Amino acid sequence: MRAGQGLVSFLILSICALLTGLMIWKGRETLPQVAPPIVTSLEVIEVRAEGQHAHVRSQGNLVSQNQITLSSQVEGVIVEISPALKNGGHFQKGDALLRIDSTDYQQALARADAEVAAAKLRWEQASAASQIAKGDWEAFGAMVATEPTRLMFKEPQVEEAKASLDASLATQSKAAKDLAKTTIRAPFSGKVREEWAGEGQFIRRGEAVATIYDDQHYEIRLPVSLADLALLPDEWRLPGQTVLQPLSIQLRASIAGQLTQWSASATRLSGVIDEKTSVTHLIGFLEHNQGAKPTGNPSALNPLPGVYVEADIQGRYWPQAVRVPRSAIGPNQQIGVIQEDETVLMQSVEWVQGMNDEVIVYLGLDDGDRIARMFNQIPFDGAQVTPVAITQSTSP
């Protein structure tokens, strides 16, 4: 009997202990909690679609479009040298730069004049004799049965006298030209780069006396990569073509500590591609009469041959394009576009060129779109954000 009561008590205690353990275990369970959404503050830019020009950066050295070696066309002793015929001297077209002793050439011209006068007299005499012979034939020719000959009319004598006159006139012309060549004149306006002549010096025909250059028209060869050719207008795609529409070029040079700018233009590309560098050259032209446009210094130097310049070439035009910060472009050319519900959409764009800290985007963005200024601040695609510091993109 007692054994049965003990078994019942043991069972009751076991059940109570089991129930107590279940109650304690249930009490430790926690209810699931829903995490609040993460909202990130994000700087955005409202873009404006405008017409944008691509720009190609290059560099080179100015050279004169016309530089020649000035040589004597006659020989003799130099008797006069212009003060302008010195290194750096400036001259105008037609100025007398150097004179050679002309005594011998004046005498040669005088002899040629005398020969012309004598030859003209012989020709006139032969012509008169021929006319007399023709008159005699008309008067008495009927009495002679034979036909008249050229000798009877003295035509060969007239032709010989005329040929002698022509030769004398040619000699006279050459003597006059040689006399004129004793004065060496400037073929164009410009400056002297080097000079080797001295007063009293004897120079021979063809001997160089100076190197001069045109200081009104300059040329510059600007290297352009094959990739950058895509940034130029369509008609500029093929090297070697003559282009009707010139490209605008802005040249910048630092001269005497001042930034000087000039406006230039280009109308052609060189006809070859460098096999070592895979670049072609755009040929730019600068006319000095366009004037220098110095920055902060009206007395800045004029363009000079050899000056190193940086060039900004105005390229192709996109009517609907925007400029965005380079920091807004992510991998695979993606930009974070802020939607109306303040979420971020990763959107692919096509851009044509990076300009310092900016990129020109011509496909993938619309006017008024809001984009993340810093792509690396976007948490993930579809993230909820709070736009701050909204500004407009810069225009060119």
Q: What is the mean pLDDT of residues 368-376?
A: 86
- pLDDT of 395 higher than 50: no
Distance, in Å, from the CA atom of 98 to the CA atom of 77, rounded to the nearest integer, reads 11
Residue in 63, 62, 51 with CA at minimum distance from that of residue 311: 62
| Paired tokens of 72 | 């004597």
**How far, in Å, CA of 43 to CA of 384, rounded?**
13
DSSP 384: B
Which of 346 and 11 is assigned the larger pLDDT? 346
Q: What pLDDT score was predicted for residue 296? A: 45
The better pLDDT of the pair 141, 176 is held by 176
- Provide the pLDDT for residue 39: 62
Whole-number pLDDT of residue 394 = 47
Which residues make Cβ contacts (< 8 Å) with residue 27, sequence separation at least 6?
none
Residue-wise pLDDT for 250-276, tens only, equals: 999 987 778 888 889 988 888 788 888
Share of the chain above pLDDT 90, in %: 37
The SS3 assignment for 82 reads coil
| Predicted pLDDT of residue 242 | 60
Q: How confident is the model at residue 352 (pLDDT cuts 50, 70, 90)?
A: low
This prediction has a pTM of 0.68
Q: Alpha-carbon distance 20 to 295, whole Å?
A: 92
Distances (CA, A) of 143 to 140, 153, 154, 365: 6, 17, 20, 111
Contact assessment for residue 66 and residue 191, using Cβ atoms and an 8 Å cutoff: no
More confident residue, 325 or 153: 325
pLDDT at 25: 56
The least confident of 16-20, 29-33, 78-82, 332-336 is 29-33
pLDDT number for residue 259: 85
Residue type, 343: T
pLDDT higher than 50, residue 243: yes
pLDDT, averaged across the chain: 83
CA dihedral 109, 111, 117, 118 (to 10 degrees): -160
Beta pairing partners, 250: 263, 312
What torsion, rounded to 10 degrees, do the Cα atoms 316, 53, 279, 286 define? 100
Say yes or no to pLDDT of 220 above 80. Answer: yes
292-342 pLDDT, tens digit each: 444 444 555 678 889 999 999 998 888 888 888 888 888 888 888 988 888
Residue 396's pLDDT is 45
How many angstroms separate the CA atoms of 157 and 361, rounded?
Answer: 88
- Over the stretch 195-206, which tens digit does the pLDDT of each residue have? 998 999 999 999
